[in-house]
A = this chain, B = another copy of it.
């Protein structure tokens, strides 16, 4: 028997079998619903409201408050369709339309930065305009040989000329269509000169490329005029893979155990295709003239982008299929723009340090400096690089995506409705907050979480271990269904007709996350027999990093207690590095050298990391002397530590 399920507010309808899983129905309807686990049934995020009809609720109730249950909430993944349904996706489970996404420095600045980094406008793929002498009965060599001769004359070494089947097929027509005046796009691999594409007439200046940042959460695209280096347009969107899981591990599981590799690949390629298509249209760029795409992403994202099985990234000893991916044709992985376009990925270092970090180091330029610097990219994962012109070490701290909202009851990404700044009165314990978009709040984003931790700690609402001090007697402290919690926004203030709270479990998750990051810093330094005092600069990259209040992050012990002027925000270095590599083949080469130079330290098997981590599971740290600024502030507030 078939059942009709209608999803509100989209009014999307889908026909499913009786007893179908409601989460699958949501996906089949093409509607978005929040989910961190990809429908595996253990994240408790895919809350929907049954407005009409009947479902079998499964284990929904164990993830829902009694009030939610009363109001018709179920978890889609635990529910079976038992009748025709009308289902509402409530606001907190929806993808928000307006959101804050960092696309890096302003595009006009990026070219300047690239030039300062030694970059130029010499891409891997070059174009050359040829005026070829037409064949005659006395000069009757074949088209292919004629082109070779013309390339030779133009100064290319075409003794190992190659073109793929598609180009060969169109060769005779392009030559004649352009009346033997053609533009050739070509690149070298080894001693081979590969003709990438051919165009009738002179098109050397109609040359476009795309830089892409494939974040676990966000995908950013720059459309670039390759002749001038100008960024014609930028676009960003949530990585549609999010619906299959919030973090890289869940996605690897989805790809391997749930046979979703192709689906994951399609999702992200479609994201890029869509953005690139829109950018091209908006800027009157013929899509067939976009012939080079450089992407940067973490190692798992790179594997998924290529449709390469990421299984062994997750299994000890954590081996990626490739760190340096070969140059491939975009059409192999589903690109719809120029079918001949080449795709390059910024080189990865190891399973948990990817091309986004190589790109980041390239942008930070720490690999050229005398002084030792730290580089950290705080996104869905946290990757750290320490080094200078002589050496580079790197590690990934499995901080988990807590600061992205995952595992936090009201956690969400930095989009409209997210509490992003919080102040707690040390006297009344009352709360002031600021919400992105100045609307009623629906949850808390990462910067809000740092604020909450810092404020609660400084005001004594929580102790050094992150436990709520019930004894202070605030009406905001109450015992919820999962233990003690602190009310940030009352029901009337919120947009979701519910109190927005932070629970002790949330606090615990956040402390674990910040401890992992700090322990990463500390371990890498001790690996090199150094201390924080040896660090000249600390560069913070990543979408999330952009909104961190450094002092607050020091307060909770996420960042080391260094003078504020040692911190520098770099923005989205992943997209910037991809842009560098796209335009300048010298910098692309430099990125490969960076990746080769980086020594990867596997923290998951490091005893010293475990020690550092345990010590960091306090606010700000078991050793308060390592945080003199925090110590001073606590003293100023005249509170016992």
Binding site for B on A (CB under 8 A): 135-137, 140-145, 160-165, 168-169, 171-173, 176, 189-192, 306-309, 311-312, 316-329, 332-333, 348, 350-351, 600, 602, 605
Contact = CB atoms under 8 A, between A and B. Distances in A.
Which residue, A168, A172, A192, A319, has most C-beta atoms of chain B within 10 A?
Answer: A319
Given A162-B189, A308-B169, A328-B165, A141 B323 contact: yes
A334 to B, nearest CB: 11
Nearest to A162: B326
Query: In the complex this chain forms, how many copies of it are found?
Result: 2
Given A172-B311, A306-B168, A308-B169, A321 B143 contact: yes
Contacts of A192: 189-192
Contacts of A140: 317-319, 350-351, 600, 602
Contacts of A307: 169
A320 B147 CA distance: 12
A442 B163 CA distance: 49
29 contacts: A135-B317, A135-B319, A136-B317, A137-B317, A137-B318, A140-B317, A140-B351, A141-B323, A142-B348, A143-B320, A143-B322, A144-B322, A144-B324, A145-B324, A160-B189, A160-B190, A161-B326, A162-B189, A163-B326, A165-B328, A168-B306, A168-B308, A168-B328, A169-B308, A172-B311, A172-B321, A173-B309, A190-B191, A190-B192
B317 A145 contact: no
A171 B143 CA distance: 37
Nearest to A343: B165
A332 B169 CA distance: 11
Q: List 10 tightest A-B contacts by C-beta distance, closest first.
A: A190-B191, A144-B322, A190-B192, A160-B190, A165-B332, A137-B317, A142-B323, A191-B191, A142-B320, A190-B190
Nearest to A261: B169
A281 to B, nearest CB: 28
A498 to B, nearest CB: 46
Contacts of A312: 143, 172, 176
A312 B192 CA distance: 28
Contacts of A162: 189, 326-327
Given A137-B602, A160-B190, A172-B312, A165 B321 contact: no
A309 B141 CA distance: 16
A321 to B, nearest CB: 5
A142 to B, nearest CB: 4
A357 to B, nearest CB: 15
Given A164-B328, A172-B311, 8 more contacts: A140-B317, A142-B323, A144-B324, A145-B322, A168-B322, A169-B309, A172-B321, A189-B192
Nearest to A311: B172
